[in-house]
């Protein structure tokens, strides 16, 4: 229902009662902004008698509220209460016109500060600051406002629409922070930092301050389907201004732990070469996380910012600002060229006497709004101003410091999703904690950095290093979206040789990608010969390239976006979708929408419609109709001429001869009632009738019922002439022709010299009697299938299915070493696999690698086991012939190797953080051919090796064996305890036994193990499967007192 917007101003005492409705000013303007303070400006003439409320000093205070109505009563919208803080005018102005200015009531938070000194940290890096450990936004703001209220500050007049447990919608707080605030930090700055950190959104209702969890649907409603603004009807002007001043195509990124790399965006325009930028990211130590944080910066710097201002029609419209939608809501409105989903960032009202009320809105499109939100999160993570940080102190050196730093307190973990370089969503996490300043003995200790580790939230999962930092926050990426992880942190001291205690474990769920790709461009639809073709150019609705996580396009059929029915969901890029079987002359409408790798779907594109064209061109149909009309006229004339001259008999029996006239015709009928022959009366008998004519009109041909017996031609609307046969249906045993043009063939057998998609050479597809050949768009032959099967060629990537688990043959396979810089190219067989709808992190693969970026040409065959998730255990086999350096040849320049490994974390480059078993065989003419069988973990390796050049066999690890087949037996055996062995004492035969061998027997040796040189031991009764005996003698002159040990060793023989 059409309605109009009205506005008025209402005055209030400061934190007090309502004074009343203000008279209409000379002019006023007011702004209501999402997550920010608005402003108001009013112009009154003191001579008019309408400004009694302003007849006061500024120091007396005055509040002004904007109230709006659609004709059903006035109400004050959110963010529409202002505190008057200034005025201006001219003393010589005869009209005594004064302009009053004010700020949103939320601006008063800038006049409340963190001024309570009773909660400050006494010492350490954050000495003199107010700490909040693992606190949500409600707890932080309410605590500081309550303290301000007790001091008689601005909080005395503000009420709170939230508490320490729930936000304004009654939902539990979703985020926690560990923060430190200096004395004098105002509450508006603190609130802005919490908003920038992704912790909350806010607005005011009258004098009530309300806080919500960030992006709460209760605050930012999705009205995109119900509130749809259109140009001319709802929007009077749609100005735009574009600038490329902030474009950047390459960014140098610097982080912790000597992290330094460059990121390029190929999508960014470069009219004058690459434009460079720089970003410092404290608290980020791994490249994946830094890339995720910077991608939004690159994306935003590669395009015109998607923020739009629209002037609104405020009379006789269906949807009004501040009535039907408010700041923070999502609506549909035109941007550059079409309507799309946008957020209302700001609403402005203005009025001037005799000109009426006007309104405008500022809109953010989805991509720009997401980039703003991501930038706020990055600011909270890497800015360092609002979050805690620690710096290494300097003290006297201590060479023997063994103190243990205390565990960090207040650990919290926030997560987000980003799109990786492969186009798939990955998770990133940001850990925050309080600084450690003391050891466990409560003495001060200097901290060099902090070590952060994470693992999957399941029993037995290994811990992985997330990195180190000298700050109190660290971001790390490469996580699987939707998984639960555990995170812990400990301090690494500057001087002590003991690592700190681990913090309590924080469990977090890694966020998933919920942002769809852009809306596709409008499809181009056409129809020819009964076939409808839907073409997509592969672009977005604004003409840009689709995002990296784009997966495929869905084709929808329907007259409206709400009624679209998906008819295809397979197209992965630009191209055509063809539809057949539609009724000739029927009209159909189609639209497209994008789907990303995570399954998020965009809105439908603009709708395109088409009418199905006939199989027979319209000009041909017109010609047929003209010929039919001409034939009808000639037939009518022929009938008139023939009347009264001859008779025509159509019957089974021969007509009686009496009364016949020469030329009379007898159409003889068969038993089925069909004409079997035509006979003419020659004066004495009926003879076969032969017809010679320039044209022949067959009875019934006008309505399509033509039958010619003996040769059998049955047709509907058939025309033969001018070298053409035109008909709706043509049945033939054989067609011999040089050219056939048709929209669709349905049949069994085609026989001919050549079938081709184009007459041009080296183009499209050509099939002849000997081969099938195809060429790409550059006219390079990609397919050759020889009928003899001797020289078949298929190039490109091949898959056994279009989706789901399948085999993919790739001629452009790439591989790299985990944790290394060397990369390889070759050919691969990938066995693509999925867990439900989720793609395996790495698929089982067989590959041949023939090129290295470091040594050039080489030969290698690899087998990977694949793994469901990153950091899962996996296995690998490599057969390799590789130059030692680029250009190496022969035995001196090339080394061969067989390497097989199985480990507990395939993606962890640090061997100390996982365990593995491997077999390595090397053909090495320089160092000697060798073989190694090893098991490795953080404590080192055990195994066996051999090198022909040295002639050695190498053993490492404790001596063990296989049950009943131990190769060696050994013991350190206390044969006597606290005994006295006199001089000349003979140690009697004593048995040493073990589980007997299933096959073979043992021989051995032994000796005494004690600090008494005259006692000798030896073996006896050897050669048994499970035991031998030892005996000895004290050959000294004195007695031995104490424990006596014997070392014995036995080996298995056949």
Q: What is the tens place of the pLDDT at every residue in 136-151?
A: 899 999 999 999 999 9
As given in the structure block, the two tokens for residue 949 are 């050049």
Tens digit of each residue's pLDDT (9 = 90 or more) over 543-568:
888 888 888 899 999 999 889 999 88
> Is the CATH number 3.10.110.10 carried by domain 524-611?
no
Of residues 46 and 387, the one with the higher pLDDT is: 46
Alpha-carbon 729 to chain mean position: 51
Give the mean pLDDT of 589-593.
94
Of residues 761 and 859, the one with the higher pLDDT is: 859
| Dist. CA 389–CA 380, nearest whole Å | 12
Give the mean pLDDT of 927-932.
91
Query: Which of 125-139, 329-343, 513-527, 620-634 has maximum average pLDDT?
Result: 513-527
For 205-219, 275-289, 878-892, which range has the lowest pLDDT when averaged over its residues? 275-289
Q: What pLDDT was estimated at residue 214?
A: 87
Of residues 33 and 250, the one with the higher pLDDT is: 33
Q: Are 1017 and 1007 in contact (CB under 8 A)?
A: yes
Residue 620, H or E segment: helix 618-642
DSSP 194-206: HHHTTSEEEEEET
Tens digit of each residue's pLDDT (9 = 90 or more) over 793-829:
777 777 777 777 888 888 878 888 766 788 889 988 8
Confidence of residue 1005 (pLDDT cuts 50, 70, 90): very high
User: 1028: buried, middle or exposed (CB in 10 Å: 19+, 13-18, 0-12)?
Assistant: buried
Residue 105 has pLDDT above 50, yes or no: yes
Query: Which of 295-299, 377-381, 929-933 has maximum average pLDDT?
Result: 929-933
Confidence of residue 758 (pLDDT cuts 50, 70, 90): confident
Give the mean pLDDT of 759-772.
82
Give the mean pLDDT of 277-303.
59
Q: What pLDDT was estimated at residue 386?
A: 29
Q: What pLDDT was estimated at residue 50?
A: 56
Confidence of residue 385 (pLDDT cuts 50, 70, 90): very low
Q: What pLDDT was estimated at residue 733?
A: 54
Which residues, other chains included, contact 57 with Cβ-Cβ below 8 Å and sequence gap of 6+? none
Please name the residue that has the structure tokens 């000495």: 127
Residue 281 has pLDDT above 60, yes or no: no
Return the CATH number of the domain spanning residue range 245-303: 3.30.1920
Residue 772 has pLDDT above 90, yes or no: no
Residue 337 has pLDDT above 90, yes or no: no
Of residues 296 and 952, the one with the higher pLDDT is: 952
For 25-29, 528-532, 752-756, 939-943, which range has the lowest pLDDT when averaged over its residues? 752-756
Residue 252 has pLDDT above 80, yes or no: no
Residue 446 has pLDDT above 90, yes or no: no
Q: What pLDDT was estimated at residue 143?
A: 92
Give the mean pLDDT of 291-295.
60
| Dist. CA 729–CA 716, nearest whole Å | 7
Q: In the predicted model, what is the mean pLDDT of the chain?
A: 82
Residue 341 has pLDDT above 90, yes or no: no
Confidence of residue 231 (pLDDT cuts 50, 70, 90): confident
Instruction: Say whether 313 sits in a helix, a strand or coil.
Output: coil
Q: What pLDDT was estimated at residue 391?
A: 25
Residue 729 has pLDDT above 60, yes or no: no
Of residues 724 and 161, the one with the higher pLDDT is: 161
Percent of the chain with pLDDT over 90: 34
| Dist. CA 180–CA 388, nearest whole Å | 6
Q: How do the domains of the chain map onto residue ranges?
A: 111-213, 245-303, 389-509, 524-611, 619-645+696-727, 647-692, 754-794, 798-956, 968-1053
Q: Are 552 and 544 in contact (CB under 8 A)?
A: no
Q: Which long-range contacts (CB under 8 A, 24 or more apart) does 1034-1040 make?
A: 1034/981, 1034/982, 1034/983, 1034/984, 1034/985, 1034/986, 1034/987, 1035/984, 1036/983, 1036/1012, 1037/983, 1038/983, 1039/980, 1039/981, 1039/982, 1039/983, 1039/985, 1040/979, 1040/980, 1040/981, 1040/1010, 1040/1012, 1040/1015
Beta-strand relationship, 587-596 and 550-557: antiparallel
Confidence of residue 390 (pLDDT cuts 50, 70, 90): very low
Give the mean pLDDT of 88-100.
79
Return the CATH number of the domain spanning residue range 968-1053: 2.70.40
Confidence of residue 451 (pLDDT cuts 50, 70, 90): very high
Residue 917 has pLDDT above 90, yes or no: yes
Give the mean pLDDT of 452-480.
89
Looking at the domain covering 389-509, what would its CATH class be?
Answer: mainly beta
Tens digit of each residue's pLDDT (9 = 90 or more) over 351-372:
988 888 999 998 876 555 555 5
Q: What pLDDT was estimated at residue 24?
A: 85
Residue 464 has pLDDT above 50, yes or no: yes
Cα four-point dihedral sign 338, 343, 344, 345: negative
Q: What pLDDT was estimated at residue 611?
A: 93
Which residues, other chains included, contact 769 with Cβ-Cβ below 8 Å and sequence gap of 6+? 753, 787
Q: What pLDDT was estimated at residue 1051?
A: 95
Q: Are 411 and 488 in contact (CB under 8 A)?
A: yes
Q: What pLDDT was estimated at residue 151?
A: 92
Q: What pLDDT was estimated at residue 555?
A: 92
Equal CATH topology for 245-303 and 389-509: no
As given in the structure block, the two tokens for residue 1041 are 């007192």
């Amino acid at each position: 229902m059409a309605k109009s917007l009205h506005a008025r101003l209402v005055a209030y005492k400061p934190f007090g009662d309502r004074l009343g409705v203000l008279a209409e000013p000379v002019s006023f303007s007011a702004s209501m902004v999402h997550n920010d303070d608005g402003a108001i400006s009013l112009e009154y003439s003191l001579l008019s008698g309408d400004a009694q409320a302003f007849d006061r000093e500024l120091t007396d205070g005055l509040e002004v509220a904007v109230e709006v109505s659609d004709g059903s009563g006035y109400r004050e919208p959110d963010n529409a209460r202002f505190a008057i803080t200034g005025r201006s005018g001219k003393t010589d102005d005869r009209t005594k016109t004064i302009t009053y200015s004010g700020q949103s009531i939320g601006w008063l938070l800038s006049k409340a500060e963190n001024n309570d000194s009773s909660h400050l940290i006494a010492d350490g890096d954050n000495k003199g600051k107010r700490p909040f450990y693992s606190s949500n936004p409600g707890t932080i703001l309410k605590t500081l406002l309550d303290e301000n209220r007790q001091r008689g500050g601005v909080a005395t007049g503000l009420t709170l629409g939230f508490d320490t447990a729930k936000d304004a919608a009654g939902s539990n707080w979703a985020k926690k922070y560990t923060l430190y605030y200096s004395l004098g930090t105002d509450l508006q700055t603190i609130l802005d930092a919490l908003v920038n950190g992704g912790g909350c959104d806010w607005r005011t209702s009258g004098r009530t301050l309300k806080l919500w969890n960030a992006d709460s649907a209760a605050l930012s409603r999705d009205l995109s389907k119900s509130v749809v603004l259109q140009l001319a009807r709802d929007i009077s002007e749609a100005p735009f201004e574009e600038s490329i001043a902030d474009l950047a195509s390459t960014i140098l990124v610097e982080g912790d732990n000597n992290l330094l790399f460059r990121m390029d965006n190929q999508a960014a325009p470069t009219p004058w070469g690459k434009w460079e930028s720089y970003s410092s990211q404290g608290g980020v130590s791994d490249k994946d996380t830094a890339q995720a944080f910077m991608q939004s910066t690159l994306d935003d710097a590669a395009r015109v910012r998607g923020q739009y201002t629209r002037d609104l029609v405020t009379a006789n419209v269906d949807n009004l600002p501040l009535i039907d939608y408010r700041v923070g809501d999502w609506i549909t409105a035109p941007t550059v060229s079409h309507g799309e989903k946008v957020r209302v960032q700001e609403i402005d009202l203005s009025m001037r006497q005799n000109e009426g009320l006007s309104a405008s809105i500022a809109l953010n499109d989805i991509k720009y709004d997401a980039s703003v939100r991501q930038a706020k999160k990055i600011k909270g993570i890497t800015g360092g101003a609002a979050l805690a940080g620690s710096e290494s102190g300097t003290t006297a050196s201590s060479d023997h410091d063994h103190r243990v730093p205390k565990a960090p307190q207040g650990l919290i973990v926030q997560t987000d999703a980003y799109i990786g370089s492969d186009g798939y969503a990955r998770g990133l996490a940001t850990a925050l904690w309080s600084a450690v300043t003391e050891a466990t003995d409560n003495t001060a200790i200097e901290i060099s950095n902090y070590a952060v580790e994470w693992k999957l939230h399941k029993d037995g999962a290994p811990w992985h290093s997330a990195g180190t930092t000298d700050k109190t926050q660290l971001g790390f990426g490469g996580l699987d979206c939707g998984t639960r992880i555990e995170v812990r942190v400990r301090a690494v001291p500057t001087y002590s040789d003991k690592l700190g205690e681990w913090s309590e474990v924080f469990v977090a769920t890694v966020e998933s990608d919920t942002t769809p790709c852009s809306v596709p461009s409008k499809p181009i639809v056409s129809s020819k010969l009964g076939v409808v073709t839907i073409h997509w150019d592969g672009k977005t609705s604004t003409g840009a390239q689709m995002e990296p996580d784009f997966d495929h396009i869905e084709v929808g059929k329907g007259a409206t976006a709400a009624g679209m029915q998906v008819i295809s969901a397979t197209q992965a890029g630009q191209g055509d979708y063809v539809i057949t079987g539609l009724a000739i002359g029927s009209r159909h409408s189609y639209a497209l929408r994008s789907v990303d790798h995570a399954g998020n779907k965009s809105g439908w594109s603009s709708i395109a419609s088409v009418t199905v064209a006939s199989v027979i061109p319209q000009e041909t149909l017109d010609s047929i109709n003209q010929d039919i009309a001409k034939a009808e006229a000639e037939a009518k004339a022929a009938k008139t001429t023939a009347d009264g001259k001859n008779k025509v008999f159509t019957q089974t029996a021969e007509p009686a001869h009496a009364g016949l006239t020469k030329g009379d015709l007898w159409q003889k009928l068969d038993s089925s009632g069909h004409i079997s022959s035509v006979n003419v009366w020659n004066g004495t008998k009926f003879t076969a009738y032969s017809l010679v004519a320039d044209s022949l009109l067959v009875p019934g041909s006008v309505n399509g019922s033509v039958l010619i017996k003996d040769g059998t031609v049955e047709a509907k609307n058939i025309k033969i002439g001018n070298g053409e046969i035109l008909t709706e249906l043509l049945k033939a045993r054989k067609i011999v022709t040089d050219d056939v043009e048709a929209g669709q063939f349905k049949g069994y057998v085609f026989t001919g010299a050549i079938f081709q998609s184009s007459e041009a050479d080296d183009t499209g597809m050509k099939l002849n009697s000997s081969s099938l050949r195809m060429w790409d768009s550059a006219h390079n032959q990609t397919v050759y299938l020889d009928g003899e099967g001797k020289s078949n060629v298929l190039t490109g990537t091949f898959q056994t299915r279009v989706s789901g688990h399948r085999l993919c043959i790739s001629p452009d396979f790439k591989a790299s070493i985990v944790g290394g810089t060397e990369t390889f190219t070759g050919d691969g067989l990938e066995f693509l696999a999925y867990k439900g709808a989720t793609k395996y992190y790495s698929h089982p693969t067989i590959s041949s690698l023939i090129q290295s970026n470091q040594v050039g040409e080489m030969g290698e065959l690899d087998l990977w086991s694949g793994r469901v998730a990153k950091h899962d255990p996996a296995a690998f086999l490599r057969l390799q012939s590789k130059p030692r350096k680029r250009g190496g040849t022969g035995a001196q320049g090339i080394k061969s190797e067989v390497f097989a490994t199985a480990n507990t974390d395939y993606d962890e480059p640090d061997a100390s953080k996982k365990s593995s078993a491997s077999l390595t065989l090397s053909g090495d003419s320089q160092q000697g051919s060798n073989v190694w069988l090893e098991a490795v973990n953080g404590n080192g390796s055990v195994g066996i090796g051999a090198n022909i050049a040295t002639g050695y066999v190498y053993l490492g690890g404790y001596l063990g064996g296989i049950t009943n087949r131990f190769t060696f037996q050994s013991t350190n055996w206390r044969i006597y305890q606290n005994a006295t062995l006199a001089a000349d004492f003979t140690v009697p035969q004593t048995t040493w036994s073990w589980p007997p061998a299933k096959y073979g027997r043992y021989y051995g040796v032994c000796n005494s193990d004690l600090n008494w040189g005259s006692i000798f031991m030896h073996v006896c009764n050897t050669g048994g499967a499970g035991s031998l005996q030892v005996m000895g003698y004290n050959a000294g002159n004195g007695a031995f007192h104490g424990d006596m040990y014997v070392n014995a060793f036995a080996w298995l023989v056949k």
